[in-house]
Amino acid sequence: MRGADVQQLGMFSYVSVEDRVPKDHPIRKFRMLVDVILAELDEVFESRYAPDGRLSIPPERLLRASLLQVIYSVRSERLLMEQLQYNLLFRWFVGLNVDDPVWDHSTFSFNRDRLFDEEIAQRFFEHTVLLARVGELVSDEHFSVDGTLLEAWASHKSYRPKDGSGGDGGDFHGERRSNETHASTTDPDARLMRKGKGREAKLSYLANALMENRNGLVIGADVRHATGTGERDGALALVDAHLYTGATLGADKGYDVHDFVEQLEERGIRPHIARNTKGRRSAIDGRAARSKGYAASIKVRKRIEQSFGWAKTVGALRKLPRIGLAKVNAWVHWNFAAYNLIRIGGVGEWWDPSPT
């Protein structure tokens, strides 16, 4: 018997938001890890707010919502608030009940930006690495490094002479431009760079990532102005911050530079860098390049591209929604923190609360 298409909607529901989210949904594991980290940051949150006055949006909810924006590829705060109106999974993750009002997008952005900075993002990211270390998911000996250009929010029309000369911007015919003489009026920290010969130059930042080779987790990130030597400079900064004597470091041919390899060896780091023999002598000894350890590092180091690929397709690093080096640095760490948590969920069953 055919059922009738009755359009009268029910006014009440006796099913909680908790019951709406399937028990085996991956977001439950993700939420559990996020809550563990947020609990560790409680003292930091406490120091950011006055002891009295009007109640603000809880910082935990602000950050959970910001994580949703990254892992579900929500491109704006306005769309994020729209999703929170009707998406019960989003409500459950953030901590809102069915009847709780959703914030205006401008209110959310204001409160989030007041809370969210480099300290919060970096400490959250560091706790994802700590969780991985507790679960013995991180290698202490073998690492890989790579860098990528991140397109800034500023447009070419904002790239004008520093001395104030020139027209209204956007017309560059016959004009010689460089980062020494020009800067963006919208984002002065962005630099005009190209990925390679024949490629379009774009206002960009440079992000470097350090990956451990066991499970491909990002254990360190460095964000700086885009320059010709920025990748190697950022790599050395990450080495100094995270690696110990005797560790190996894999990298692509762009790092096969004698000065860089010598600095690694001075630090006691074994360079497992892809050899660049095109028209010149490689800085990597041929005998070392024939070792099994070198071959393993060269094979595994390609996995670091997965972190950049995820952050630029699923995450929010394809075109930066933040302006200024400090805010971009925070946003990069935030995206890599989300990537780490998702990857831990895929490889680390040690925290799985479900019975086996």
- pLDDT tops 90 at residue 9: no
SS3 of 87, please? coil
pTM of the entire structure? 0.90
Are residue 96 and residue 193 in the same domain, yes or no?
no
Q: How confident is the model at residue 347 (pLDDT cuts 50, 70, 90)?
A: confident
The pLDDT, as a whole number, for residue 15 is 74
The residues, ordered by sequence, that sit 6+ positions from 131 with a Cβ below 8 Å of its Cβ are: 33, 36, 37, 344, 351
Question: Contact, 115 vs 48, CB < 8 A?
Answer: yes
Question: Average per-residue pLDDT in the chain?
Answer: 88
Are residue 105 and residue 159 in the same domain, yes or no?
no
Are residue 233 and residue 302 in the same domain, yes or no?
yes
Are residue 76 and residue 145 in the same domain, yes or no?
no
pLDDT: which is higher, 111 or 160: 111
What domain count does the chain have?
2
Are residue 241 and residue 299 in the same domain, yes or no?
yes
- pLDDT tops 80 at residue 2: no
| Mean pLDDT for the stretch of residues 317-326 | 94
Flag whether 310 is in a domain.
Answer: yes
| Mean pLDDT for the stretch of residues 299-314 | 94
CATH number at residue 203: 3.30.420
79-129 pLDDT, tens digit per residue, is: 999 999 999 999 999 999 988 999 999 999 999 998 999 999 999 999 999
Cα-flanking dihedrals φ and ψ of residue 78, to 5°?
Answer: -65, -45
Are residue 95 and residue 148 in the same domain, yes or no?
no
Q: How confident is the model at residue 355 (pLDDT cuts 50, 70, 90)?
A: very low
Flag whether 239 is in a domain.
Answer: yes
Are residue 200 and residue 309 in the same domain, yes or no?
yes
Domain range spanning residue 280? 139-165+179-321
Are residue 110 and residue 148 in the same domain, yes or no?
no
Are residue 153 and residue 184 in the same domain, yes or no?
yes
Flag whether 44 is in a domain.
Answer: yes
Are residue 92 and residue 222 in the same domain, yes or no?
no
List strand residue ranges (DSSP E) for 110-163, in order.
Answer: 142-151, 159-161
What letter would DSSP give residue 145? E
Give CA angle at 173 (170, 177), nearest 5°.
Answer: 75
- Measure CA 20 to chain center: 30
170-216 pLDDT, tens digit per residue, is: 555 556 777 878 888 899 999 998 877 777 888 999 999 999 999 99
Which CA distances in Å does 268 have to 7, 23, 221, 249, 265?
72, 48, 21, 11, 5
Are residue 76 and residue 148 in the same domain, yes or no?
no
Q: What is the CA radius of gyration of the chain?
A: 24
Flag whether 127 is in a domain.
Answer: no
Flag whether 174 is in a domain.
Answer: no
Q: How confident is the model at residue 159 (pLDDT cuts 50, 70, 90)?
A: confident
- pLDDT tops 80 at residue 1: no
Q: How confident is the model at residue 3 (pLDDT cuts 50, 70, 90)?
A: low
Are residue 293 and residue 186 in the same domain, yes or no?
yes
Which pairing describes strands 218-225 and 202-212: parallel, antiparallel, or unpaired? antiparallel
